Chain A
Amino acid sequence: MNYIVVGASAGLGRALADKLAESGNNLLIVASNEEDLQAQSADLRIRHSVRIEHKAMRVRCDENSVKSIVEAAAKLGEVDGIFFPMGYSRNDDDGTLKSEDITRIIDSNLAGIVAITAAFLPRMLEKGEGLLVFFGSVAAERGRSSNIAYAAAKRGLQSFYESIRHRSSSTNIRVQYYQLGYLKTAQTFGKKLPFPAAEPEQAAAYIISGIAKNFGQKYFPWFWQYICLALRMTPWFVFKKLKF
C-alpha cells in the first residue's frame, strides 16, 4: 500500500510512519525540516526496505503547497490513504493572537488538511476506496480560555471529517477521526498531567490496527471518552469556574 503521513517527523507522526513502513507500506512523509526528513527517510528505507519519498514544507492552504504534495505522492503511485497526525499550537493562544499566528494555527490544524484532502478525494471517490485519518484533541472538547484558535480549528476539523465521511458513505473509503488525549511527546514532557500519557508507539499501533474498519470517531486513550463526556455534561455555571 502507499500512504502519505503529513506531520511525520515527530511524536505520533514518526511512530505511525515507522509502524506503517515496518508492515511493508511505501510512504510519502511530509514535515517542515528537510534534514530531519532525509534522515528519517533513510532510516525507514534501511530498516524496512520500503520505498520512502519525502517532502519538506509548511502545510498551508494554497495551491502551491497542495501541488507539491500531489507531485511528491505521484512518485509513489496510487495513494491508498492519508494520515494527518499534525498540528500546531502556542502557549499564548488566548484569543489575542496576531493575524499571522492565527493563520498558521488555522492552516496547520484545519485549512491545510482540508486542502490536501480535497486534492486526493476525487480519485478516492472514483475508486470507491481509500483511507483518511484525522486527529483531533481533547483540548478542543469544550472551548476554554487557552488554546482558543487551536481548539476552534480542531473543532472545524471534526466537522470536516464528519462531512467527508457522510459524503463518501456509499463507498469503501474509511474516514476516521481520533480524539487524542495526552501522548508522551515534546509537548507533554515534564508537565504535571492530571491523567496518564500514552506512548506515541502505542497510539500508532492502535491506529494501524483499525485502518480497515469503518468506525468513525474514537478516543485514544479510551478513558478520555468518559472524561470528555463528563466535561460536555458539566453545566455552564460550573464549567466557567474551571481553570484548565
Chain B
Amino acid sequence: MNLVSSSSSRAHNFVSFDGSERAQGKLEIPESAAYFQKDQFTAPQISRGAGLSYAAASFGKNICSVDHARLNKIVDFNEEELWIEVEAGISLGRIYDFLIEKKLFLATQPGHPRISVGGCIAADIHGKNQFLDGTFMNQVQSLNLFHPEHGILELSPKKNEDLFRLTCGGYGLSGNILSCRLKLKRIPSSMAEVQLKPLDTIEQLPERLKISAAASDFVLSWHDFTLKGKDFGRGFIQEGRFIAGDSVLAASKKAAEQSLDAESRGNLPIKVFNPLTIKMMNLLYGSRCGKSGSIFKMSLFDSIFPIQNSKELYFKFFGASGFHEFQAVLPEETFLEYMNGIRNYLLKHPVSITLASSKLFAGKQDLLRFSANGICFALNFERNSESPKFLAFLDKLLLECRGIPNIIKDSRLSKEIVSQAYPEYELFRSALRDFDPKRIYKSELSERLAL
C-alpha cells in the first residue's frame, strides 16, 4: 500500500446523472497541481467535477477524465474587496460553509452543494436569480486555464477575453480550469424569506414572473402538468429574499457533507414513479401553497439547494432507467405558443410530468451559452419507451418557438437541434479549433454535438 503519490489512473465505468449514457473511459484523480505539465498530454481527455451533469459532459468512451476533486483548496480570500480564489475542484458546499459565517455568499449557484466550481464555469450555470446576476461567468473575475500546448493561461473579461468567453460555457473543451477568483456578495444573514404566491393559469406566468422578480432576490415557479383543462399548469411563484435573522437554522447542516452522485442515483431496486405516484406528488407539492399563498423563513442553504436530503430521493425515485430534463429558454413572445403546444401534445399522448418549473432569464446569448432574454422552462419526466417521441416533439416545437435548449441538462440533444437553435454554433466550433487545432479535450457530449 502506497500512501503518497501524485495521481492514480484506472479504467472506469461512467454513467450520466440522468441514467442515460454509460461509457468506459479512464479516470485520473490528481493529488497535485503539478500533474498539469506542458507538452505532457496528447490522448483525448476532459476535466471532471462532481460528475453531476445530467448529460455526459465529463466523460466519454476511451476518454481520460481528469477528476479535480482533490484540487479543492481556498487559496486566497479578501473580505474587504469581496473576492475568493479557489481551486476549481472545490464544491459549492465547501465554499458555502466557509462564507456563510462571514455573511458572504456566491451570488449564482445551481441546486446542489456537491457541484464543483469548475463545473459551474464550464457549463456557465444559472441560479434562481439569473434575471438579476446573470450566469456564473458574471461571478468570475479571472481564471487559470491549463492546456498542454499553451501551458497555464490567465483569462478574465479583460485579459484573453475571447478565450475567457469560450471557456466559461465551453463544456471543458478548451482545457482544464485550475483555479479562479470569484466575486462575493454580502448578505444580511444566513436566512431567507420565501413567499409562495398562487398562479391560477400558465398564461399569467410571463407577467407575474416579472412582477415577482422586481421585488425579490430570487424567483422560480412551479406548475402541476398532470392537471387537465383550464387547470393545466396551475401552481405557484416562489419569491425569495435575503433577510436579517439569527443563523441557528442554517448552521444545522454542513453543506460540504452531501452525498448525491451519478453512480448511486439509480440504485433503488424499484422504480417509485408511475402515473399515480407522480400525480400524488404533484398534488402534495402544490398544496404547499394555500389558496392565498404562504410565507415562511428558511435557511439560505435550504432555499438555494432545495434538492437536498429527502428531496435527493426525488432523483432516486426514477430508478435505474433514469429521467429526462428538457430545459429551454423561450422568448416571451413565443412562450404561450410553446406552452399550448405542450398542453395539446399531453392531451393526446399523456406523459407524467414529474416537475415543471420556470425562472426568469435576462442576458445576451452567445456561443453555446445557456443564456438569453426570456423564460427558462424545465420539464422532468421518466425515461421510457414513450419519451423519445415526446422529446422529438419538444425539439421541433422549441425550434419553431426560437428557443434554446440547455445542453448540460439533456443527454440526447443532437447536433442538428443544437446547431439550429444556437446561432453561434459554428463560431464556437471554429474558435475551439483555432485555439486547439488537435482538439485534445473531448467528451461524449462534444462527440455527439460534433464540437
Most buried by B among A11, A180, A191: A11
Chain B stretch 66-89: residues in CB contact (< 8 A) with chain A: 70, 73-77, 87
Shortest CB distance A87–B (Å) = 4
Q: Let me know if A7 is at the binding interface, CB within 8 A.
A: yes
Q: Which of A71-79, A134-142, A211-219 contacts B (4 or more CB under 8 A)?
A: A134-142
Which residues of the partner chain A approach B87 to less than 8 Å between Cβ atoms?
39
Q: Which of B25-33, B390-398, B406-414 contacts A (4 or more CB under 8 A)?
A: B25-33
Question: A11, B27: Cβ atoms under 8 Å?
Answer: no
Chain A stretch 81-126: residues in CB contact (< 8 A) with chain B: 85-90, 108
Question: B10, A87: Cβ atoms under 8 Å?
Answer: no
Which residues of the partner chain B approach A38 to less than 8 Å between Cβ atoms?
75
Query: What are the interface flags for A15-46 relative to B under an 8 Å C-beta threshold, 1 for contact and 0 otherwise?
Result: 00000000000000001110110111011001
Question: A187, B33: Cβ atoms under 8 Å?
Answer: no
Question: B75, A190: Cβ atoms under 8 Å?
Answer: no
Query: What are the interface flags for B1-37 relative to A under an 8 Å C-beta threshold, 1 for contact and 0 otherwise?
Result: 1111111101110000000000000010101111000
Q: Which of B3, B33, B34, B73 makes the CB contact (< 8 A) with A11?
A: B3
Question: A186, B10: Cβ atoms under 8 Å?
Answer: no
Shortest CB distance A33–B (Å) = 5
* Bound-state Cα–Cα, A32 to B75, Å: 18
Q: Let me know if A189 is at the binding interface, CB within 8 A.
A: yes
Question: A33, B34: Cβ atoms under 8 Å?
Answer: yes
Q: Which of B3, B8, B76 makes the CB contact (< 8 A) with A46?
A: B76
Question: A11, B4: Cβ atoms under 8 Å?
Answer: yes
Q: Which of A46, A183, A190 makes the CB contact (< 8 A) with B12?
A: A190
Question: B1, A10: Cβ atoms under 8 Å?
Answer: no
Question: A39, B33: Cβ atoms under 8 Å?
Answer: yes
Question: A86, B4: Cβ atoms under 8 Å?
Answer: yes
Most buried by A among B2, B7, B73: B2
Which residues of the partner chain A approach B77 to less than 8 Å between Cβ atoms?
46
Question: B5, A186: Cβ atoms under 8 Å?
Answer: yes
Q: Which of B4, B70, B75 makes the CB contact (< 8 A) with A42?
A: B75
Question: A182, B34: Cβ atoms under 8 Å?
Answer: no
| With contact pairs A9-B32, A33-B34, A191-B10 given, residues A42 and B76 touching in the complex (Cβ less than 8 Å) | yes
Which residues of the partner chain B approach A40 to less than 8 Å between Cβ atoms?
73
* Bound-state Cα–Cα, A86 to B4, Å: 6
User: For chain B, which range describes its interface: under 10, 10 to 19, 20 to 34, or 35 or more residues?
Assistant: 20 to 34
Question: B1, A182: Cβ atoms under 8 Å?
Answer: yes
Most buried by A among B3, B32, B33, B87: B3
Which residues of the partner chain A approach B70 to less than 8 Å between Cβ atoms?
10
Question: B31, A187: Cβ atoms under 8 Å?
Answer: no
Which residues of the partner chain B approach A221 to less than 8 Å between Cβ atoms?
none
Question: A33, B2: Cβ atoms under 8 Å?
Answer: no
Shortest CB distance B27–A (Å) = 7
Question: B4, A7: Cβ atoms under 8 Å?
Answer: yes
Q: Which of B10, B32, B74, B75 makes the CB contact (< 8 A) with A189?
A: B10
Chain A stretch 125-181: residues in CB contact (< 8 A) with chain B: 135, 137-139, 147, 150, 180
Which residues of the partner chain A approach B12 to less than 8 Å between Cβ atoms?
190
Question: A10, B4: Cβ atoms under 8 Å?
Answer: yes
Most buried by A among B29, B73, B75, B87: B73
Shortest CB distance A205–B (Å) = 12
Shortest CB distance B91–A (Å) = 13
Q: Which of B1, B27, B33, B34 makes the CB contact (< 8 A) with A180?
A: B1
* Bound-state Cα–Cα, A43 to B8, Å: 23
Query: What are the interface flags for B72-116 relative to A under an 8 Å C-beta threshold, 1 for contact and 0 otherwise?
Result: 011111000000000100000000001000000000000000000
Q: Which of B2, B6, B8 makes the CB contact (< 8 A) with A87?
A: B2
* Bound-state Cα–Cα, A9 to B7, Å: 12
Which residues of the partner chain A approach B74 to less than 8 Å between Cβ atoms?
42-43, 46-47
* Bound-state Cα–Cα, A187 to B11, Å: 14
Shortest CB distance A17–B (Å) = 11
Q: Which of B8, B75, B76 makes the CB contact (< 8 A) with A187?
A: B8
Question: B73, A42: Cβ atoms under 8 Å?
Answer: yes
Some 14 contacts from A to B, beta carbons below 8 A apart, are: A10-B3, A13-B3, A13-B4, A32-B4, A36-B32, A40-B73, A87-B1, A89-B2, A185-B3, A186-B8, A186-B29, A187-B5, A190-B27, A191-B10
Starting from the known contacts A10-B5, A10-B31, A190-B11, 10 additional A-B residue pairs (CB-CB under 8 Å) come to A10-B3, A10-B32, A39-B33, A42-B74, A46-B76, A85-B3, A90-B2, A137-B1, A147-B1, A190-B12
Q: What residues make up the interface of B, taking CB atoms closer than 8 Å to A?
A: 1-8, 10-12, 27, 29, 31-34, 70, 73-77, 87, 98
